Structure 1
Amino acid sequence: MTEPVRRIIHIDMDAFYASVEQRDNPALRGRPVAVGRSQERGVVAAASYEARTFGVRSAMPSVVAQRKCPELIFVPPRFEVYRAVSAQIHAIFARYTALIQPLSLDEAYLDVTEPLLPRDTATAIAREIRAAIREETGLTASAGISYNKFLAKLASDYRKPDGQFVLPPGAGEAFVAALPINSFHGIGPATAARMNALGIYTGADLREQTLDTLVRHFGKAATFYYGIARGEDPRPVEPHRPRKSIGKETTYETDLIRENDLQNALATLAESVWHACTRRQRSGRTVTLKLRYVNFTQLTRSHSFTEPVPSATALAHTAHFLLRPLLPLPKPVRLLGITVSSLASTEEQTAAEQLSLLSHF
């Protein structure tokens, strides 16, 4: 029996954080807004479309954003509000399908091959969802509709903001061929630079590469790259995709260089990460320390255990252990981060601890 052609929708909220702030504060409407901190070490978390016309983008240092747009208005993030609005939006998704894969608070994949409500097309479903989001939250969303996740995500960017675009079966390969590699979801700046060095600048260039060539240069990711160059992506929408890591990083107002200051900062980070682990009832066996020096050089160090990390104290001790070989630091640090990965649930952790105890008898 032939499998039905999948119908995938990618919904992406338009300038989500900034749009929420403009919705809730009429004085901000029509003005360039950045969600973030305006301090010297601040970073833009999101920018309104008015700010984007000046070149302001998310992850941009606040001082650079202010230089590009002197009239830029900074507002502090309110993540509890964004999470509540995101829950409203996901409740709308759930009227149409149970196959929802969130990517973040403001975007998700929906598989509507067999929708919960009888609708003739995925295009009609996307249109209804966007109308419901506007009516119930006062916000706008864009949608991409296609037969796989990769193409649906590309399509959602094509008519932003407040639009939708369809890539029907048979159209994907030609659409991808004309696109620059650095616009491909799943190909980051570093990989794009490596591809450019090999003469790969567009989807058409990527399609000309043999699978063996891609494997030689890109390892396990080669199969994915080979497929998307042809408009192919077999990945299913995964409603319960397990989280791979839990972490937090902080950019400091004052550079850190003294060992005591670094250890205090790591202890605070460890408490924050452990709180997130506890809230999600997860812990992990691998701890990663991230440092970014004042010249933006970055390094990471990791250590893996046979059992999940049991406490915030243990997490802080591990971060200190990873820091110690780097001391004395060659230059001050502007950012620190701690991430826990190789996650296990609290129940799995308890079972592992019990087995470990039993092994001593």
Structure 2
Amino acid sequence: MNFMENELTVRQRKIIHIDMDAFYASIEQRDNPHYRGKPIAVGGSPEGRGGVVATASYEARKFGVRSAMPSKRAQQLCPDIIFVRPRFDVYKEVSVKIREIFYRYTDLIEPLSLDEAFLDVTVDKQNIGSAIEIATLIKQAIKDELQLTASAGVSVNKFIAKIASDMQKPDGLTFIGPSRIHTFMETLAVEKFFGVGKVTAEKMKKMGLHTGTDLKKLTENELVKHFGKAGRFFYKIVRGQDDRDVQPHRETKSVGAEDTFAYDLIEIDEMNTELDKLAVVISNRLQRHQLKGRTITVKIKFSDFKQITRSQSVVNAIDNLDTIASIARQLLAAADLENKKVRLLGISLSNFGEIVIRDKPDEIQDQLRLF
């Protein structure tokens, strides 16, 4: 190994996570002056008749409106909210333009969705050398050329960069360098850890685990005992260890959603109602990312934590709500649920065709991946 190869081997990675601010809503406010400064929700329906919110403007978020919230609830929280029909063709076009800005600095880009991506700028095309400066230039280009704002997180790995990008929204830039990582992770609330949902966070808090410092007190075996395979991830990440590479060409394998209930479900009607809610989320995600799948899988976890799945494949790829909900209900009905208590239900769609976005003509094609 020569000197240059050795230098690249030991060089600290420079990772940027770019996350657009209220992406869909911001585009609608940019393109329609009537929406500016007003609480809007992309997705859902007027008077909360159905559907869920895909993105809420910051004016709506002040009232507690959030993504994936039923529009009826959004209407209750913010009576003056304006529901806007999504224009995914426009969002995709803007996403491509954002990606073109990224390519000015690096080809190592891992898209997570239309509105966020990881960039590895350890070695950048313009020899700038500073990830902070590159993030600043990207944010400014997005603002100048597209009249939108983005937030950026800069660090030495993907996990820290992703958390950092959310710390000063909107239009923020947060750098967490090597010397700050251990202190940062120790003071981070457990619910801020990627992979820690509401149920896991509640379980951790009942165990007296409120911050990274608390998690750090447990051995890897203890974490695995309490949280399964995720325990190994928690053990590493609380110590700032994340060796995952930025992967430009990862393909979407499945799109899913699941929910753990506050109480065990016994009645099939209750279960069907919950499946319908999940089907809405799945359908919206598929259409947002322009994906269609041929295999639907329903996941059922019982009160004793035993788990089963039931799947069905169809000839023609689907993304529409009615079909997803109908097949999910059929799969649930086919499962033996007599005298069973259900604590979790999930739906996922897989077996996608090849969905490709062409970002740079005759040069690079990246496939969408959900994070």
TM superposition shift of 1:45:
1.4
1:104 to partner: Cα distance: 1.1
Unpaired segments ≥5 residues, structure 1: 250-255, 292-299, 331-335, 347-361
In structure 1, the partner of 2:240 is: 231
Q: Is 2:77 the partner of 1:68?
A: yes
Q: Which has the larger radius of gyration?
A: 1
Measure, in 1, the Cα distance between the counterparts of 2:255 and 2:128: 38
Residue pairs, 1:115-134, within 5 angstroms: 115-134=124-143
Q: 1:21–1:328: structure 2 CA closer, same or farther, 3 Å change rule?
A: same
Q: Identify which of 21, 28, 40 aligns with 1:14.
A: 21
Given the superposition, is the C-alpha separation of residues 52 and 242 from structure 1 closer, same or farther in structure 2, using an over 3 Å criterion?
same
Q: Which amino acid aligns with 1:242?
A: E
What fraction of aligned residue pairs are identical, expressed as a percent? 50
Question: How high is the TM-score relative to the length of structure 1?
Answer: 0.75
In the alignment, structure 1 residue 34 sits paired with structure 2 residue 38: no
Q: Does 1:58 align with 2:58?
A: no
In structure 1, how many angstroms separate the alpha carbons of the residues matched to 2:67 and 2:240? 28
What is residue 316 of structure 2 aligned with on the other side? 312
Structure 1 range deviating more: 183-192 or 129-138:
183-192
Shift of 1:201: 0.9
RMSD: 3.6
The one-letter amino acid paired with 1:143 is A
Question: Which amino acid letter does the alignment assign opposite residue 98 of structure 1?
Answer: D
User: In the aligned structure 2, how far is the partner of 1:321 from the partner of 1:43?
Assistant: 23
Secondary structure of 1:171's aligned partner: helix
Q: Structure 1 58/321 Cα, relative in aligned 2: closer, same or farther at 3 Å? A: closer
Is 1:137 the equivalent of 2:141? no
Aligned 8 A contact 1:288 1:303 in 2: yes
Structure 1 residues 231 and 68: CA distance shift in structure 2, 3 A: same
Q: Contact 1:12/1:142 (CA < 8 Å) preserved in 2?
A: yes
Deviations 1:220-255 (A, max 9, x none): 222210111112211111111221215799xxxxxx
Deviations 1:11-52 (A, max 9, x none): 000111110010000111111111122333332211111111
| Equivalent in the alignment of 2:210 | 201
Matched with 2:87 is 78
* Cα offset, 1:290, TM superposition: 7.0
CA–CA distance in structure 2, aligned partners of residues 235 and 58 of structure 1:
27
**1:288 and 1:301 in contact (8 A); partners too:** no
TM normalised by structure 2 equals 0.73
The CA distance in 1 between the partners of 2:354 and 2:146, in whole Å, is 34
> How many pairs were matched up?
310
Structure 2 residue 12 is matched with structure 1 residue 5: yes
Contact kept? 2:293, 2:317, Cα under 8 Å: no
* Correspondence 1:101 to 2:101: no
After TM superposition, the structure 1 = structure 2 runs for residues 1-361 of structure 1, keeping only pairs within 5 Å, are 1=6, 2-36=9-43, 37-38=45-46, 39-246=48-255, 287-289=296-298, 302-303=309-310, 309=313, 311-312=315-316, 322-325=331-334, 339-341=348-350
SS at 2:178's partner residue?
Answer: coil
Indicate how the Cα distance of structure 1 residues 48 and 212 shifts in structure 2: closer, same or farther if over 3 A, else same. same
* Alpha-carbon distance between aligned partners in 1 of 2:75 and 2:200, rounded to the nearest angstrom: 30
The aligned residue for residue 263 of structure 2 is none
Q: Is the alpha carbon distance of 1:304 and 1:325 closer, same or farther for their aligned partners in structure 2, counting shifts above 3 Å?
A: closer
Q: Is the 8 A contact 2:299 2:310 kept in 1?
A: no
Q: Distance in 1 between matches of 2:172 and 2:317?
A: 49
